[in-house]
Amino acid sequence: MADTRTPDSTRRSERSRRAIYDAALALVVEAGYPKTTIEGIAARAGVGKQTIYRWWPSKAAVLLEAFVDLGEQAAEAVGEVGAAIPDTGDLAADLRLVVRATVDELVDPKYDLPTRALAAEGIVDAELCAQYVEKLLRPSLQLYADRLAASRERGELRADLDLDIAVELFTGPLSGRWLMRTGPLTHAYADRLVDYALHGLAPR
Partner DNA sequence: GCGTAAACGAGACGGTACGTCTAGTCTTTTC
Partner DNA sequence: GAAAAGACTAGACGTACCGTCTCGTTTACGC
Residues engaged in binding a copy of itself (CB under 8 A): 32-34, 116-117, 119-124, 126, 129-130, 132-133, 137, 141, 148, 155-159, 161-162, 164-166, 168-169, 171-177, 179-183, 189, 192-193, 196-204
196 binds DNA (CB under 7 A): no
Backbone phi, psi, residue 183, to 5°: -175, 170
Q: Are 114 and 28 in contact (CB under 8 A)?
A: yes
Sequence-distant (6+) residues with CB within 8 A of 7 are 54, 55
Residues 81-100 that bind DNA (CB under 7 A): none
Residue type, 82: G
Looking at the Cβ atoms of 33 and 178, the one nearer to DNA is 33
Q: How far is the CB of 31 from DNA (least distance, A)?
A: 9
| CA gap 2, 23 in Å, rounded | 27
Q: Are 64 and 118 in contact (CB under 8 A)?
A: yes
Q: Which of 147, 137, 154 is nearest to 85 (CA)?
A: 147
Q: How far is the CB of 200 from DNA (least distance, A)?
A: 46
Q: How far is the CB of 26 from DNA (least distance, A)?
A: 15
Residue type, 51: T
Q: Are 117 and 123 in contact (CB under 8 A)?
A: no
Which of a copy of itself, DNA, none does residue 148 bind (CB under 5 to 8 Å by kind)? a copy of itself
Q: How far is the CB of 107 from a copy of itself (least distance, A)?
A: 14
List residues binding DNA (CB under 7 A). 1-3, 5, 7-13, 15-16, 19, 35, 37-40, 45-51, 53-55, 58-59
